[in-house]
Amino acid sequence: MRSLYENTKGRLIFRIILTAVAIGALVCSFLGTKPILLYFTNWSVWFVVIMTFLTLTGTVMSYKSQNESLLDNKIYRLLKFAAAVMIFATFVVSSFVLPDKLWTPSFWKVESFFKHFLLPVMYITDGILCDKRNSYKIHYVFAALVPPIIYWTAVITRFCSYRNSLGGAIPENQWNQYYPYGFTNIDNGHSLTFLIALLAGIAAGLTITGFVLYLLNRKKEKK
């Protein structure tokens, strides 16, 4: 199993299954809490879905004609790595931070299961088992922080701008339109400083995750 990246047929089968899971997660992303554009989970799912379809396309090309041009493309590899780090954040936060945690029944409902568990686990496993050894570069670790930073910058800018336009706090009946998660709500017991510190901690965790994925990719097979 560890040499799946060298087994073109096995890699193709695994990625067909991953694509089916990605489609399920994509559907579930449109069934969740509205507005759907507000949530980090949905953005990470959409990012992974795009990369999963590209990955399957590249794997089919490889299987049919030994054409590895897409899978070896530098931009593709970087984006695939970045998507893995982003979906890992979705898994960790949903499993251990949000109310519907890993050990609660609601986490295992179909909608949550596909987005928060099955897709992250399958996609990260794909990178570990199916990507070529030594195909990741060390700068991927830091470049992977860019999509989460863009998301959180947009979310914070949006609710801060709206608060300023109101001259104070956002009314409670509008919280779900501006605060995607409880820990982001600076009108309900949290400060902006606390939120930024928390996000810095998450960024540090994602950096460590990136390093781990990088090292796993470089690990040599035992003969």
Give the pLDDT band of residue 222 (cuts 50, 70, 90). low
Q: Do residues 180 and 39 make contact, with C-beta atoms less than 8 angstroms apart?
A: yes
> Is the predicted pLDDT of residue 146 greater than 70, yes or no?
yes
> Is the predicted pLDDT of residue 211 greater than 90, yes or no?
yes
Structural domain span for residue 131: 4-218
**Rounded distance, CA 113 to CA 107, Å?**
6
Task: Give the pLDDT confidence score for residue 106 in this predicted structure.
Answer: 79
Give the pLDDT band of residue 218 (cuts 50, 70, 90). confident
3-state secondary structure 64-130: HHCCCCCCCCHHHHHHHHHHHHHHHHHHHHHHHCCCCCCCCHHHHCHHHHHHHHHHHHHHHHHHHHH
**Rounded distance, CA 48 to CA 20, Å?**
12
Global confidence as pTM = 0.91
Within a domain: residue 92? yes
Within a domain: residue 204? yes
Within a domain: residue 223? no
Within a domain: residue 130? yes
Taking the alpha carbons at both ends of the chain, their separation in whole angstroms is 14
Q: How many domains is the chain partitioned into structurally?
A: 1
Within a domain: residue 157? yes
pLDDT tens by residue, 176-187: 999 998 889 999
Which uninterrupted H or E stretch holds 190? none
